Amino acid sequence: MKGKTLQLTLSYIVIIIVSAIILYPILWVIGSSFNPGNSLSGSSIFPADATLKHYKDLFDLENSNYLIWYWNTLKVCIITMVLSVIMVCLTAYSFSRFRFVGRKNGLMTFLILQMIPNFAALIAIYALANLTGLLDTHLALILVYTGGAIPMNTYLMKGYLDTIPKELDESARMDGAGNFRIFWQIVMPLAKPMIAVVSLFTFIIPFTDFILARVLLRTEEKFTLAVGLYELIADQFGNEFTKFAAGSVMIAIPIAIMFLSLQKYFVSGLTAGGTKG
């Protein structure tokens, strides 16, 4: 009995320590966003003279492009998420349900591609965007993000689809259903957990990516949040660190909404996507 009590106590201590390590930087950034002035040197979780000035400055359309950056990022995020989910679902369904020449090699290629980050091909991406006239456009970002999301998420989705009994497909086929109807009305409703996981992963990418957006975007009005916020403090005389903190806090809102709205699907989606294909 004493051993179990000691084990439980140690578990709670570890949880508290890990939670503190994770939460302290987040709370510090939130506190810094309410800190008066522009410096982070005197910032704390609970600032003495808390102010909303930095948030007001961000939403001042005459002096800030923050709302434009926010809209650009949301637009890129939503389109990337929709295209990625469609492409991943179709590709994973093909690999899961059909047998064709090059199937194993294709899966192996996807496995290798997911190990290579997008920024490893920055020069090629920049050259292609320049040659196709897509430099300084959101379409270039969307295409790169979507293409980069397909390999890893296809592998995850295929693993999940493999857990769905193929007898359901055969029963539907006996009732006269075609491949597309089986895909849309039978397999996809059962794959909602993994669709939720893929949706969240692909939605977050444009919010967190800086390198690709910085390379492809040139006009300030087309910046995403990562690039726009960087420009606040990148100037030689830039010292908008507390405003940067306020802008960073606002980034978490759509991600948190997305996570909470899909939370019920995540556990089963993450645990069931790793089966051997």
Length of the chain: 277
Q: Where are the domains of the chain?
A: 1-51, 64-272
Of 2.40.30.10, 3.40.50.300, 1.10.260.40, 1.10.3720.10, the CATH number of 64-272 is 1.10.3720.10
**pLDDT for res 47:** 77
Q: What is the DSSP string of 190-234?
A: HTHHHHHHHHHHHHHHHHH--HHHHHH--SGGG--HHHHHHHHHH
Which of the four pLDDT bands, split at 50, 70 and 90, describes residue 92? very high
Mean pLDDT in residue range 206-214:
89
The pTM of the full predicted model, rounded to 2 decimals, is 0.85
Distance CA 59, CA 70 (A): 10
Burial of 81 (0-12, 13-18, 19+ CB in 10 A): buried
